[in-house]
Amino acid sequence: MQIISMFQEAMIFAVTGAQDYSFVALFSRADNLVKAIMIILAVSSVWSWAVIIDKTISFSILKKRATKFEETFWSGRTLEELDEGLAGDTHDPMARVFSAAMREWKESKAMGPSSGADLFGARERIDRVMGLVVNRELAKAERGMTVLATVGSASVFVGLFGTVWGIMNTFRAIAEMQSTNLAVVIPGISEALFATALGLVAAIPASVFYNKFTSDLDKYAGRLDGYTDELSAILSRRLGKRA
């Protein structure tokens, strides 16, 4: 009996060892539904990495441009000189906020001496214009974040669905062949677990970088809001002197 048992184990090892467990082989042997899930997860992973690379470059450029503009803004030049120096070259969000505020300030200045109510209205218009520009710029900076959030939260569950479906197919094969040896079980389980692995590969980077970019966006939003408050205070003092 021991010899027979050893012989059976050797046969099982020979059958299972002959199987190809490369990624391509696991994909090719999988059920059509599991294949579709694997393709979706692979595309999601590539898409999320494209967004990650794009956002990494974008936030790096935003930080550098913001630092450069702040250095120029606090260099001691007058607002008029800064506005003339920009001359419509407003690649940086802070520069666009500045240009919009200066345009509104010039229009208010052109009206001549004003009452307290007019000054209050001018300040409100300037703040409103800057607020609109800030919201628009933050919306631009936030583009692509939804993709990372979706991939990070959904990929694991999509992969698990593929795994469950693959395991169900394995159980069907066991029932049809009426055998629970490794030659029947291992290939199906391997294909099923491969779907989970793909889900994790897609979800983990997306989740990590989504949290990082959310933090970066919050910091940049605070920086932009701080500059807006400073510019609003400077223009308010200018309007007060004009009264």
The string of pLDDT tens digits covering residues 172-206 is 777 777 666 655 667 677 777 888 888 999 999 99
8 A C-beta contact, residue 31 and residue 166: yes
Worst-scoring range by mean pLDDT, 4-18, 21-35, 63-77, 121-135?
4-18
If one compares 90 and 31, the residue with the highest pLDDT of the two is 31
Measured distance CA(1)–CA(12) in Å, rounded? 17
Mean pLDDT over residues 84-91, rounded? 71
pTM above 0.85, yes or no: no
If one compares 114 and 154, the residue with the highest pLDDT of the two is 154
Considering only CA atoms, which of 67, 107, 69 is closest in space to residue 85? Answer: 69
Query: Which tens digits make up the pLDDT trace of 137-146?
Result: 999 999 989 9
Q: Residue 4 has what pLDDT?
A: 42
pLDDT band at residue 234 under the 50/70/90 scheme: confident
Of the chain, the percentage scoring pLDDT greater than 70 comes to 77
Could you tell me the CA-to-CA distances from 64 to 50, 71, 220 in Å, in that order?
A: 22, 11, 11
Measured distance CA(59)–CA(5) in Å, rounded? 64
- Please provide the average confidence, as pLDDT, over all residues in the chain: 80
Q: In Å, how far from its chain's centre is CA 86?
A: 31
